[in-house]
Structure 1
Amino acid sequence: MRRTALLAGARIMEIYDADDFEVKVKSDASPVTEADEAADAMISDALKEAFPEVLVVTEEQADSHTESADSFLIVDPLDGTKEFVRRRGDFTVNIAWVENGVPVRGVVYAPAKGRLFYTTAAGQSVEETGALDPSTPGETVPLAVASPDNGALVVVASKSHRDQATDDYIGKYQVNDMTSAGSSLKFCLVATGEADLYPRLGRTMEWDTAAGHAVLSGAGGRVVRFDDHTPLIYGKAGYANPFFIAYAPGVELKPGG
């Protein structure tokens, strides 16, 4: 999964660094680029070869959205397409393994930022540093969430999907600092201790969140539903998520609504 994410990221950057690239609009009005499609083909082919008996669900292959299994791989080949199109760099390659509703392994690679996060075989989340060679894993730094100060929280929110409802909910907390990020990097900022809380009051799909969720879990963090604060589970009908909150334990969650 790590190697595949790095190779897909390299292909994405070839397109990102070109003078121009094609942008199309999908049926749900979201953008899709040739980078999404190229990365999707690379990743799905590699995963199906490595795990021939495992269901691969990927954003860009609608047929996979009607399939289900207790254990499956779920992929967003280019999460943050809007950030990609605007050349803002906050986009990621997301690959996750889900078992019985829980994302237990994940890889999040931000190729424009040179940041790679993943869970090890033991379930510990790390950030790999150095040259990020696909064939040779480099040095890693274990990740651990911060010990939050509820009187001075650091909150991360979406760059492209911020709205009044999100601001109203964040306003329930005592916030020392606000930061914004695109794609699944928001989960990773909580996992590294760079933020304490990430509320999402908007539409997401499981391929948007599973890899980041796994990385955050492997760093000691949690992801719960916004409405009742029960764990966010995966393998739901259509792979659609409810609103959710990702956070470091110790944050005193405020009620939703």
Structure 2
Amino acid sequence: MDFDKLTKVMRKLALLAGDKIMEIYAADDFEVRAKSDESPVTAADEAADAIISAGLREAFPDVPLVTEEQSASHGQSVSTFLIVDPLDGTKEFIKRRGDFTVNIAYVVDGVPVRGIVYAPAKDRLFYTSADGSAVEETGEFAKDVVGNTKPIRVSVPDNDALLVVASKSHRDQATDDYISKYNVADMKSAGSSLKFCLVATGEADLYPRVGRTMEWDTAAGHAVLTGAGGQVVRFDDHTPLVYGKPEFANPFFIALSPDVKLEKA
């Protein structure tokens, strides 16, 4: 894989998809439908998916592609692949809360090694550089010209005063019970894969997820967090979260700065 090309392609496609999403977001109204699993889908999900999948297939025709909005891609058995969630946080999009993201990642032998997370309503753009390190870009996000970037790095946490982030739309008692095992100084909620990025920038130390997710929800944020020195581990045994699982379904997991002293589930 040409990682310089991959970074440029993923960045441009994420920005193009973000423009289309925001165009629909700004409309007075948009249709919301239910998929077979009862999760919501909008025209923004489908339009963003069309942009990203076409661009990736053109640039990397020999790399398998898995995308949330194309159910035919979910039956693959692969360990090295591109994976896309064109609009993560559809519920946040529908409620017009801004916490939604475009996610594109590249997984090699079950490990997300490159990824991009773009939050168009919040003007935040996180991705892995060609060397695998994580950056946040600021500016006007021109499609073909990279703006100002700064390296991001996980925190050195104070285990007696942890900063925790949890899901905005999927918070439940099991999550609160687990968080209660820690000494928490501050607790914030965020939607979509932004939670990974808050850990990657040091704005949070710990993000536990006790609930259903799919690999397209997590791969891009996982790659960004890894590039910032962080980790994503299984909730049950704290082993690394791997990808290419059957139907691309995740177990419960924890995203963290490595210096957090993990409690047992």
Query: What range is the shorter-chain TM-score in?
Result: over 0.9
The reply on whether 1:44 has 2:53 as its aligned counterpart is yes
Structure-2 separation of matches of 1:210 and 1:135: 24
Deviation at 1:70?
2.8
Structure-2 separation of matches of 1:6 and 1:33: 18
Q: Which residue of 1 aligns with 2:3?
A: none
Deviation at 1:55?
0.6
Match of 2:128 among 113, 116, 119: 119
Q: Which residue of 2 aligns with 1:236?
A: 245
Match of 2:156 among 136, 141, 147: 147
Q: Identity of paired residues, percent?
A: 74
Deviation at 1:206?
0.1
Q: TM-score, normalised by structure 2?
A: 0.96
Tell whether the 8 Å contact from 1:106 to 1:210 is kept in structure 2 after alignment.
Answer: yes
SS in 2 for 1:169: helix
Deviation at 1:134?
1.1
Q: Which residue of 1 aligns with 2:196?
A: 187
Structure-2 separation of matches of 1:191 and 1:129: 16
Unaligned runs of 5+ residues in structure 1 are none
Q: Which amino acid aligns with 2:198?
A: L
Report 1:126-137 matches (<5 A): 126-137=135-146
Deviation at 1:135?
1.2
Structure-1 separation of matches of 2:80 and 2:263: 33
Structure-1 separation of matches of 2:142 and 2:101: 17
The reply on whether 1:80 has 2:89 as its aligned counterpart is yes
Deviation at 1:81?
0.1
Q: How many residues align?
A: 256
Q: Which residue of 1 aligns with 2:214?
A: 205
Query: Structure 1 stretches (4+) deviating beyond 6 angstroms?
Result: none
Structure-1 separation of matches of 2:97 and 2:65: 29
SS in 2 for 1:186: helix
Structure-2 separation of matches of 1:58 and 1:247: 26
Deviation at 1:69?
2.3
Structure-2 separation of matches of 1:133 and 1:83: 25
Structure-1 separation of matches of 2:167 and 2:84: 20
CA RMSD of aligned residues (A): 0.4
> What does the per-residue CA deviation read over 1:66-105, in whole Å, with 9 as the maximum and x for residues that have no partner?
0122310000000000000000000000000000000000
Q: TM-score, normalised by structure 1?
A: 0.99
SS in 1 for 2:105: strand
Structure-2 separation of matches of 1:158 and 1:71: 28
SS in 2 for 1:108: strand
Q: Which residue of 1 aligns with 2:15?
A: 6
Deviation at 1:139?
1.1
Structure-2 separation of matches of 1:64 and 1:23: 23
Tell whether the 8 Å contact from 2:79 to 2:243 is kept in structure 1 after alignment.
Answer: no
Structure-1 separation of matches of 2:264 and 2:247: 27
Deviation at 1:62?
0.3
